[in-house]
């Protein structure tokens, strides 16, 4: 009989080999999104599908399952938050989950999602919800079957949410999001009613793209993203890809006449990147060296993008640097003006263009609707009407077409049901963490005004990054903040900042 320690070593070796495949696949995907010739698309898609089959086989094989099952009853599993214990706990959850979903449903979903995404591209272009609807019906029907196969306590949504935000239940997610929704609506109204206007014209002046690239890299490195272990390239839809320890790839896009677009997507992706750089590399590919959840990942990007990069003190420090790079565009601009310009708030139809105040309402609308579709309170043909009504109710605006309404996001066609809430959970966690770090470190804003970001990054390293996936997100945040996550720090932050800009208390 091998000892538990021997088995654990075998498990680590197995995970290391899986991570080599995952890393190769990540590099292929990065290449696909940054510079691959378009004629290579078909071969690359087949190649990536083959890699994902290999990875799937390795993480669902009976031998692998036996290894995890015997470790689960060993002494190593006793402390479920230790490195070994959390590895066994998380891998067993994932393995059991995978094993419960019938192979036929997995294959059917893969096929349906691929067709649905193609249909979505065409239907969005043609503003044609009717042709898209049957695809959406099939996806939600299959997702209901997945939820039934996995099992759930409160709502079928539990089983889907768990894939992105492990161990978070639907009632708990809804408690956080409903609290946020109810507190946000009066803030949106106060902003709309204010006569104050952000001087956004500043951002539409000419900012040469080559200079934006240099400048963005400089700011990201000042924030703490280590470029000896990463790089920055351009793409259509910015993302951060981990190829392996010491190789974290950020991407962004630039618009010469929209200064904020390039800079803030760099700060956002660099936030994801600093998290990946702070994970323990000796546990790479295993839970102690992995990100905790999508919500926690998004908390790191939102924290650097919004709570740092859109703060008044950030611009006190950053404006002189920006003026040196873009003298023509910024010579007559004050820190207060650019601070207001990058914090303009107004209700809009498109989620990805939404500001810090209104963004979460876009997410909450999607989360509510996908739960209603899943439990069939809402039927797919009625979705566009429900979507438009909810936009009118929460944001005071109605989409002028399905293309800029219900058809705007790729997520549902890609089978990503239960994914949307992780964006708002990220914003909630970010504000909880920021408030706790501010208290522990004594005045972050004064540090930002001097360009000092290292104390905040160190705090995040210790409390979040180095903890990996040793515990669920809610416990991780609670340990870091000495309080359970709530929407209140986010609302407090928005009221203070936007109350000052738009003159309401
Ligand atoms: Zn993100």
**pLDDT value for 389:** 98
**pLDDT value for 110:** 87
Length of the chain in terms of residues written:
505
Nearest to 429 by CA among 487, 492, 491: 487
**pTM for this prediction:** 0.96
Q: How far is the CA of 422 from the centre of ligand 1 (A)?
A: 10
Q: How far is the CA of 19 from the centre of ligand 1 (A)?
A: 22
**pLDDT value for 45:** 84
Cα 254 to the chain's mean position, in Å?
21
Q: How far is the CA of 212 from the centre of ligand 1 (A)?
A: 20
Given 84, 113, 165, 269, which residue is catalytic?
269
**pLDDT value for 271:** 98
Query: What DSSP state is assigned to residue 245?
Result: T
Tokens of residue 289, six digits: 């060296």
Tokens of residue 460, six digits: 């995040």
Q: How far is the CA of 193 from the centre of ligand 1 (A)?
A: 31
256 a catalytic residue = no
**Low-confidence residues of the chain, pLDDT below 50?**
none
Q: How far is the CA of 270 from the centre of ligand 1 (A)?
A: 10
Q: How far is the CA of 271 from the centre of ligand 1 (A)?
A: 8
**pLDDT value for 252:** 96
Q: In what order do the strands lie in the sheet with 240-244?
A: 230-234, 247-252, 240-244
**pLDDT value for 360:** 98
**pLDDT value for 49:** 85
Q: Are 504 and 190 in contact (CB under 8 A)?
A: yes
**pLDDT value for 343:** 98
| Exposed/middle/buried for residue 495 (C-beta within 10 Å: 0-12, 13-18, 19+) | middle
């Amino acid at each position: 009989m091998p000892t538990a320690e021997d088995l654990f070593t075998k498990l680590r070796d197995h995970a290391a080999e899986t991570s080599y495949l995952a890393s190769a696949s990540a590099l292929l995907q990065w290449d696909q999104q940054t510079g691959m010739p378009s004629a290579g698309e078909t071969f690359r898609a087949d190649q990536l599908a083959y890699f994902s089959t290999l990875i799937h086989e390795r993480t669902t094989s009976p031998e692998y399952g036996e290894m995890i099952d015997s470790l689960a009853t060993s002494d190593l599993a006793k402390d479920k938050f230790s490195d070994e214990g959390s590895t066994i706990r998380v891998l067993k959850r994932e393995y059991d989950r995978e094993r419960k979903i019938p192979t036929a449903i997995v294959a059917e979903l893969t096929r349906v999602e691929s067709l649905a995404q193609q249909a979505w591209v065409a239907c969005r272009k043609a503003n044609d919800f009717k042709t898209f609807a049957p695809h959406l019906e099939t996806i939600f029907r299959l997702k209901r079957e997945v939820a039934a196969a996995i099992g759930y306590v409160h709502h079928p949504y539990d089983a889907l949410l768990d894939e992105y935000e492990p161990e978070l239940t639907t009632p708990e997610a809804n408690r956080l999001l409903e609290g946020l929704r109810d507190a946000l609506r009066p803030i949106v109204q106060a902003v709309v009613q204010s006569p104050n206007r952000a001087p956004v014209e500043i951002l539409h002046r000419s900012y040469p793209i080559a200079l934006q690239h240099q400048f963005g890299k400089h700011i990201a490195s000042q924030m703490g993203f280590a470029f000896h272990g990463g790089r920055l390239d351009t793409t259509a839809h910015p993302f951060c890809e981990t190829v392996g320890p010491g190789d974290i790839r950020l991407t962004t896009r630039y618009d010469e006449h929209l200064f904020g677009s390039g800079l803030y997507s760099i700060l956002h992706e660099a936030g994801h990147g600093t998290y990946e750089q702070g994970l323990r590399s000796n546990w790479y590919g295993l839970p102690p060296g992995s990100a905790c959840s999508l919500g926690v990942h998004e908390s790191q990007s939102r924290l650097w993008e919004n709570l740092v990069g859109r703060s008044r003190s950030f611009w006190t420090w950053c404006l002189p640097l920006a003026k040196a790079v873009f003298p023509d565009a910024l010579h007559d601009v004050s820190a207060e003006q650019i601070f207001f310009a990058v914090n303009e708030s107004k209700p809009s139809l498109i989620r990805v263009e939404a500001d810090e105040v209104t963004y979460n309402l876009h997410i909450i609308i999607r989360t509510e609707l996908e739960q209603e579709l899943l439990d069939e309170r809402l039927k797919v043909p009625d979705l566009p009407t429900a979507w438009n009504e909810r936009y009118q109710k929460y944001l005071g605006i109605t989409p002028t077409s399905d293309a800029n309404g219900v058809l705007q996001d790729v997520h549902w066609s890609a089978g990503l049901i239960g994914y949307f809430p992780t964006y708002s959970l990220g914003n909630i966690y970010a504000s909880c963490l920021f408030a706790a770090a501010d208290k522990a470190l004594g005045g972050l804003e004064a540090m930002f005004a001097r360009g000092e970001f290292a104390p905040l990054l160190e705090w995040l390293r210790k409390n979040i990054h180095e903890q990996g996936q040793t515990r669920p997100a809610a416990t991780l945040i609670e340990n870091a903040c000495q309080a359970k996550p709530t929407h209140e720090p986010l609302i407090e932050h928005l009221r203070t900042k936007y109350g000052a800009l738009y003159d309401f208390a």
